[in-house]
Amino acid sequence: MQNLEEGHYFFSSESVTEGHPDKLCDLISDSILDACLAQDEHSKVAMETVAKSNMILLAGELTTNAKINIDQIVRDRIKEIGYDDEQKGLNYKTCDVIQKITLQSKDISQAVHENKKDEEIGAGDQGLMFGYATNETKELFPFSHLMALRLSLKLTEVRKKGIIKYLRPDGKTQVTVEYKEDKNGKMTPLRVQTVLISTQHDPNVTNEEIHKDIKKYVIDEVIPKEFLDDKTQFYINPSGKFIIGGPEADAGLTGRKIIVDTYGGWGAHGGGAFSGKDPSKVDRSGAYAARWIAKSLVAAGLCDRALVQVSYSIGIADPLSIFVNTYGTVKEGYTDSKLVEIVKKNFCLRPGIIIKDLKLKTPLYAKTACGGHFSREDQGFPWEVPKKLEL
């Protein structure tokens, strides 16, 4: 690795495709959530999925008036992803689908939402949630992670469109970017140092073909040319072979890709996963609200970067704490503490109000499960639309 100038450093972010075992599980969990919300917006869902050796195990809590066929939802999602043969790692037709699902605990429901108005609904659990935004891209999102996410989405696109016919569903991406940080903490991406892609493939294809096609149809289509130079390194299937994939090669589990789902290692993470959880769980709604706040602060020009933390207690509506860190980029005349006051003035962070403001009872969650929950403005996620702030 090359030596860097003072104030320059490398930062890496990764992503995975929808056929990765963990993302397969996220997609199944969120597909069940969407199916419930489509019929009953008050559904309470906490759905975990495990995948291994042609088997899907569903475990969790589900309280809903929706009439859904969980077995069919699971098989349809697996088919859509492209797992139609055990040789690929999973077969939607023959896999076992095991259900271990109970109702939501009465202890939780009475504390959180029973007989309560929207503004009184308590948090579904304790926890701390983070949101992050940076003006290094028009999406107000870290460039390194934006590239990793888009590479994973492009891998899936070229496979499903038949542009690269020999690809299989499983895959991973990683991008290392050289950044410059100025004396005020502002981050500027300068160039891409390394692109790493591992993609599952049919057995009858050479590494040379894979290298050529991935470079042409994936990397060159995603990463802007001005960020690539003669020092950029490309690693494509460095293991030499990636035929066995999916849940046959590696067990999958809902909620195991929390950094892929958020900011690619930038900012911070409270530890709570998103997929399979209805919005009464602040692991999800609180994190979406924190991103909304951070993006609104940066979009308003109050800072170049913002990290927002919100913390909750189960059964209590108001957050226990709100924290803002701008890494020294806050604009003249403001302080991080003053930004906290602006947040309190402009955002109601009670879970019931977040759900209403961000339309979180809409069945849109399967769209979030792969490719990132943030930065994807084309998907119509309400938390990606900055709020005009009253200062």
Say which of 251, 268, 299, 300 is annotated catalytic: 251
- Give me Rg for the CA atoms of the chain: 22
Say which of 14, 18, 22, 304 is annotated catalytic: 22
Annotated catalytic residue 250: yes
Annotated catalytic residue 77: no
Angstrom distance (rounded) from CA 195 to CA 191: 11
Say which of 41, 61, 221, 336 is annotated catalytic: 61
Say which of 125, 283, 304, 384 is annotated catalytic: 283
Annotated catalytic residue 42: no
First-to-final CA distance of the chain: 46
Annotated catalytic residue 172: yes
Annotated catalytic residue 251: yes
Say which of 11, 14, 20, 381 is annotated catalytic: 20
Angstrom distance (rounded) from CA 305 to CA 62: 38
Annotated catalytic residue 256: yes
Annotated catalytic residue 277: yes
Say which of 118, 250, 336, 357 is annotated catalytic: 250
Angstrom distance (rounded) from CA 33 to CA 366: 8
Q: How many CB atoms lie within 10 A of CB 129?
A: 27
Annotated catalytic residue 231: no
Secondary structure letter of residue 105 according to DSSP: P
Say which of 150, 201, 277, 376 is annotated catalytic: 277
Annotated catalytic residue 283: yes
Say which of 201, 256, 291, 350 is annotated catalytic: 256
Say which of 113, 150, 172, 284 is annotated catalytic: 172
Phi and psi at residue 352, in whole multiples of 5°? -65, -35
Say which of 11, 130, 242, 381 is annotated catalytic: 242
- Contacts by residues 319-327 (CB-CB < 8 Å, ≥ 24 positions apart): 319/286, 319/349, 322/349, 324/297, 326/185, 326/297, 326/302, 327/185
Annotated catalytic residue 117: no
Say which of 23, 44, 168, 373 is annotated catalytic: 23
Annotated catalytic residue 390: no
Annotated catalytic residue 257: yes
Say which of 44, 77, 281, 295 is annotated catalytic: 281
Say which of 44, 257, 269, 305 is annotated catalytic: 257
Report the phi/psi class of residue 378: left, alpha or beta, with left for phi > 0 and alpha for psi in -120 to 50: alpha
Say which of 14, 48, 178, 384 is annotated catalytic: 48
Phi and psi at residue 285, in whole multiples of 5°? -65, -40
Residue 45 contacts residue 275 (beta carbons within 8 Å): no
Phi and psi at residue 372, in whole multiples of 5°? 100, 145
Give the catalytic positions in this structure.
20, 22-23, 48, 61, 172, 242, 250-251, 256-257, 277, 281, 283
